[in-house]
Structure 1
Amino acid sequence: MLDHLATLHVAAAIIEQNGLILACRRNHDRVLGGKWEFPGGKLEPGESPGQALVREIREELGVHVVVTGELTTDDTIVGDQIIRLICLRAELLGPRPTNSTDHDALRWVDREQLPGLDWADADLPAVGLLANGATA
Structure 2
Amino acid sequence: MTERIVVAAALFDGDRLLAARRSAPPALAGRWELPGGKVEQDESPEAALVRELREELGITAEAVARVPGQWVLKAPYVLQVWTARLLPGSGDPEPLQDHDTLRWLAPDELWDVDWLDQDVPAVRATLALLDSDAR
TM range (shorter): 0.7 to 0.9
Indicate if the aligned counterparts of 1:76 and 1:122 stay in contact, CA closer than 8 A. yes
User: Which residue of the partner structure matches residue 8 of structure 1?
Assistant: 4
Residue in 2 that maps onto 1:134: 129
SS at match of 1:117: coil
- Give how far 1:68 is off: 0.9
Q: Distance in 1 between matches of 2:84 and 2:73?
A: 25
Match of 1:27 among 9, 14, 23: 23
Please say which of residues 47-56 and 97-106 is displaced more in the overlay.
97-106
| Contact 2:24-2:98 within 8 A present in 1 as well | no
Structure 2 residue matching 1:112: 3-state secondary structure: helix
The separation in 2 between residues aligned to 1:74 and 1:29, in whole angstroms, is: 22
Separation of aligned partners in 2, 1:66 and 1:98: 17
Shift of 1:30: 4.2
Count residues in correspondence. Answer: 129
Instruction: Say which structure is richer in strand.
Output: 1
Report the secondary structure of 1:121's partner residue. coil
TM-score (norm 2): 0.83
User: 2:67 aligns to what?
Assistant: 71
- State the identity %: 37
Secondary structure of 2:119's partner? helix
Q: Is the 8 A contact 1:57 1:63 kept in 2?
A: yes
Counting only pairs closer than 5 Å after superposition, residues 1-136 of structure 1 correspond to structure 2 as: 7-78=3-74, 81-93=75-87, 94-131=90-127, 133-135=128-130
State how far apart, in whole Å, the 1-side matches of 2:13 and 2:50 are. 17
What secondary structure, in the 3-state scheme, does the structure 1 residue paired with 2:100 have? strand
- Work out the CA distance in 2 between the residues paired with 1:65 and 1:30: 28
Q: In the alignment, is the contact (CA less than 8 A) between 1:74 and 1:85 conserved in 2? A: yes
